[in-house]
Structure 1
Amino acid sequence: MTRRRKRYATGRAVGTVLTAFGVLAGAALTGAAPAAAVRGTGTEIAPGVTYEQFDLPAVKGMTHAHLLTVDLRDKHVHLDLLHPGAVAARAPVSQLADTAGAVAAVNGDFFNINETQHPGVEATGATVGPAIAHGRVLKGAVPDGQRFGPALPPGTTTEDVLGVGTDRRARLDRLRLEGAVGTPVGRLPLGGLNQYALPVDSVGAFTARWGSASRVRATCGTDTDRAAPCSADTYEVTVRHGRVVSASDKPGSGPIAAGTTVLVGREAGAQRLRKLSTGKRVSVRYRLVASTSGVRYRFALGGYPVLRGGQPLSGLDRVTSAVRTAVGIAGGGRRLLLLALDGAPDYRSGLTIAEVADEMRALGSVDAFSLDGGGSTELVAREPGATAVSVRNHPSGGAERPVPNGIGVFSAP
């Protein structure tokens, strides 16, 4: 790919042009470059955070990119997971950013967006991979075969994450769920946490962080086939303050109160849960373990790696072009590059995932990670002096798509 890029100024002059769509910035992208177009390093939207936009030649034609560069060496800057308060809930990225007070953000992980293969089963909106926000574990990863999104590159898994540790360094890692249910008849391994899909024969835990969506979807499909029928052998036990208070043959729905955990079993897991009668003491413990670095994470989210140690992963798709979101890591984990392509009609062909890896390397990334794309791709940022973010790219669906999480960029005074 040719590495010459046309870079656009992103200050006040362009900002006045980008108001034709109200909150949607970037209206000028369907025509010629703004009169103020220059080559430069972008506009600082907050200390340690810059924004720029530029054209990219690609296999399927010219595309347009929006880029946030975040310097974690600046003590005022940090990243965290944006989410709407529940794993099984969605909101537009701009709303997530403004609610949390972020100065910029991009969309996050792939998610359970529909259930056309399971008629009558509710799509939960929950993400594929693990999630940590503010240092707290939100959820584990679904089985690889239950993933929504493009095929994973060889050697990757739904446990792959991008995260920032308590050491303020970003890195690629894997987060594995470790947990157990303590019962009077022995310990049961925990197969899932707040997940829209549980492994076959397992027991999964759902907490108040799950939200109110139905838990039926968690018992549908298999570890290798998302479209497989829902399990006919399920059982649900509600544990409140350490004791079983109710049970059901079918997973339920509705909010889960604080201090309450709902255990859902399928197949062998359901058979184990049937041994728990009302009033029995039950404990549930879990954590996400970093299998590569061993560090503790302040935030982490799922997706999949496309670049490691400066080299693209083998087997990356070089055929399918799309609007995409990606994150690059540079400077020993102290600098992040958050990239979102534009979905305006003139640029909608986008990049192949192999081109994404090449481009992130050309921008200086040593490691890079692909997030959800298509209609989910979005980058928002505040204009200097503004109190709310504006959407800098054109979402390919014509409007913001509600998403379950994103990466928020924060800059404290």
Structure 2
Amino acid sequence: MNDTAEAPKPQGLGGFEETVKDFWASRPRRPARGGKIGGVAAAIGNRYGIDPVVVRVAFVTATVFGGVGLSLYVLCWLVFAAEGDEVSPVEALFGRGRSSLSKPLTIALGILFFPLSSWAFAGGWFDGGGVIGAAMMVTALYLLHRSRGHLNRPAPTVRAVTDVGPAAFSMSAPGTAEKSESGWDPLGADPMAWDLPDPQPAPAPPPPPSPPSAPRRKSKIGIATLGVALLVGGIGAAIASDGHTWFSAQHVIGLVLGVLGVGMVAGAFAGGGRKLAILAVPLSIIGVALTTLPVNDYSGGLGDLRATPLTAAEVQPTYERTAGTVDLDLTQLPADVPVATEIHVGAGDTTVLVPETADVTYSCESHAGDVQCLGRGTSGVGTGPTTGVDYGPDGVGGLQLTVKIDQGVGTVEVNRG
């Protein structure tokens, strides 16, 4: 009879149900060191032999585009046991073993999971992006386990035995139980004195030193991915500048993040691509800002706009940019014809110069940013428009100028030239 334990399967599992059961039995374990918040990303990375930075970026991206990343992270925190624990926090809450996560914190995370899930699947994030994001994350984890489930399988944690009966301390040899109970000892000596210690086994020879590993070949995935991402971003910005409404700032950033995500996943398997997170994280933050703030209400494309009209006829009724800089110089206008113009910018900076002696009626608003309009200003989010009339240092008289500026994110300035 062979007493050798059965080795784990080295490659793919039989089917979907078997894969799911094997994943649950060999779930990643949250490490005691190396994790950031809860250690979920580090647990998945260590379990399947990929860079934890890629996992963190995946959770951030799923949070930005779809909102489901946070709820999935909390769920994994609840069902992944920590190193050295007997069971996961949820199982420990129902008395199935010991977990280092306290029960109050487990309950708090469980309560937090439901509003996060409701927020993600409410439909406000790209109209169903939460469902798509959850499906992609679960599918990626399933495929990871199918291909790499045999790697780094956690050792099963044996539940500690706390109930020790009297039989555990019985030192009687077979056949001497009745004599011990009667107290009769024909030799009048301690029975334990006859138990001689077993000979100590010879120490095992030390393992031979492993040969030095060859230096790992530096991967070019990171450089190639960065080049493709910059190319995609440049092409998207060029198309947006021609007035194509689909190529908004959010969509262009989403395309770039998609390229970076593919590169980081490929780099996790082949080596390289870790530094791409330096670009992906700020782009994700910008994507959140552009998704939350009313940038979609602004058209005009991307890029900088600079204009110095010389006559009232050259002043456009509206200057628009989805994202970029608007620099409008009105100091060269004659004072005989009234002028009115509006500026709409989604994200960027707006600067307007007006003549020194012009009578200016203004309305300046930035939904998130700073406003300095002829000596008056606001700063913050949702502060409302700054309005007024400024006649300049010479008092009433001069060019009659009306300026209205509406901006989503950025700085608005109106100064005299």
If the length of structure 1 is used for normalisation, what is the TM-score?
0.20
From the two aligned structures, give the one with the greater helix fraction.
2
More strand by percentage = 1
Give the alignment's TM-score, normalised by structure 2: 0.20
Asked which structure has the greater CA Rg, the reply is 2
- Which of the pair has the greater relative contact order for Cα pairs under 8 Å at 6+ separation? 1
